[in-house]
Structure 1
Amino acid sequence: MSGRPTPHLPSQGAESGTAAPFYPRLGDLAADTARGGRVGVVVALPGEGAATYHLQPPGGGTPWSAPADASTLRPVPAKATHATLLVRDALYDHRARQGSMAILVHHEDGSSTEAVLVLTPPDMERLHSQTERILTERERSLGGAP
């Protein structure tokens, strides 16, 4: 054993294979599954003069309520803005016949998430061609040979 905590194990308090429950805070965006995934801003919390969550469309409009246990509410993830390569070796899986590269996905809220860019052989050829074109353009802009 590594001595590091493994919160996915039931003996350490989390149920195996489940994510932590989502309890939105005031001002959070939440998607309400009882309303077909409608997104709203949490404008009142249970216990603060309300028995339920109160939500309102982000641009204004008719508010609605959701159960106090937040069972129908889901987080609305921040949108990705761009991805950058991580400094790790690219891999090729002969069995799957695909390559992979580690990337860091940046989100508009300033957070980031590690992910893997999976490339099929045609994707790899296209990426090689596009990268070569970019490098040629860079050379031209630096005054190098065309």
Structure 2
Amino acid sequence: LSAGAPFHPRLGDLALDLAKGGRIGVVVALPSDSSASYQLRPPSGGEDWRASSDGTTLRPVPARPTHATPMQRDAIYDHRAQQAALPVTVHYEDGGTCDTLLVLTPGQVELYYAQLAKVIEAREAAREHAR
């Protein structure tokens, strides 16, 4: 079990329960005078379980990334690390974003250079065909 700041989810929130091996559940009941625990249910249905009312075993479920887009900044090559870095924005299901770097080995740079050249050729051929 990993100790950390308690998470106190609201009714309907998704929560990850460390005491259940990282199992994810929907909070269907909150701790109250009549219940000393959270009650969770698998999102797709199934058997409910309980988590301690102090929230120490619960964690928020992060939104999943949907895609990444290149930022309008130059890629850089670090010759000491022998890798390239392309600034990208990662987009999440909940509408959030995060700016980070896509790190590529020299072999990956060469592979994507060849693949992008083919995409550019296909785009140009489609433009010519449309005229």
TM-score w.r.t. length of structure 1: 0.78
1:131 aligns with 2:116: yes
- Give the Cα–Cα distance (whole angstroms) in 2 for the partners of residues 48 and 125 of structure 1: 63
CA gap of 1:82–1:48, structure 2 versus 1, over 3 A, is farther
Q: Which residue does the alignment assign to 1:75? A: 60
Q: Which residue does the alignment assign to 1:100? A: 85
Gaps of 5+ in 2: none
SS in 2 for 1:143: helix
Name the structure with the higher strand share. 2
CA gap of 1:95–1:52, structure 2 versus 1, over 3 A, is same
Does the 8 A contact of 2:5 with 2:56 survive in 1?
A: no
1:116 aligns with 2:97: no
- The percentage of counterpart residues that share the same residue type is 52
- Give the Cα–Cα distance (whole angstroms) in 1 for the partners of residues 16 and 72 of structure 2: 35
Residue 50 (structure 2) aligned to one of 65, 72, 75:
65
SS in 1 for 2:68: strand
Instruction: Name the aligned partner's letter for residue 27 of structure 2.
Output: V
Instruction: Name the aligned partner's letter for residue 89 of structure 1.
Output: D
CA gap of 1:82–1:67, structure 2 versus 1, over 3 A, is same
- Which fold has the larger relative contact order, with Cα–Cα distance below 8 Å and residues 6 or more apart in sequence? 2
Number of residue pairs the alignment of both structures matches: 126
Moved more, 32-41 or 74-83: 74-83
CA gap of 1:48–1:138, structure 2 versus 1, over 3 A, is farther
TM-score w.r.t. length of structure 2: 0.87
* Offset, 1:137: 0.7
Gaps of 5+ in 1: 1-18
